[in-house]
Amino acid sequence: MNLLLSGQTLDQILIKMITELIKNNGLLIILLFVVWLLIWLLIREVKTWYWKINDIITLLKKIEKNTDLTLNVNNSKDNQPQVVEEINKVS
């Protein structure tokens, strides 16, 4: 109540309180953020491992590369032996 009677608005009081909190607990806030970020990254990694997302992405990239090579075989009959060698390298 004394703060409101001193002529300061509620916004000024809140800003002052938040500033003091950050000054006093700035390191704690940063530490909490870092811990939260590490936990989030760990959960994300476990989730992607469980759903095999990393393996799926790798497999899709291989399929895309093989599809591109197959399209090159169909488009260029002259270089067929070279393209077949490239396909064998990928597999």
Q: Which residues, in sequence order, are CB contacts of 70 under 8 Å at separation 6+?
A: 87
Mean pLDDT of each 10-residue bin along the chain, 91 residues long: 63 83 78 89 88 88 87 63 64 58
What's the pLDDT at 1? 43
What is the spatial distance between Cα 75 and Cα 87, in angstroms, rounded to a whole number? 15
What is the spatial distance between Cα 4 and Cα 67, in angstroms, rounded to a whole number? 71
What's the pLDDT at 41? 93
What's the pLDDT at 77? 57
**What does the DSSP 8-state code read for residue 77?**
S
What's the pLDDT at 83? 58
Cα 36–chain centre separation: 15
What's the pLDDT at 90? 63
87 and 73 in contact (C-beta within 8 Å)?
yes
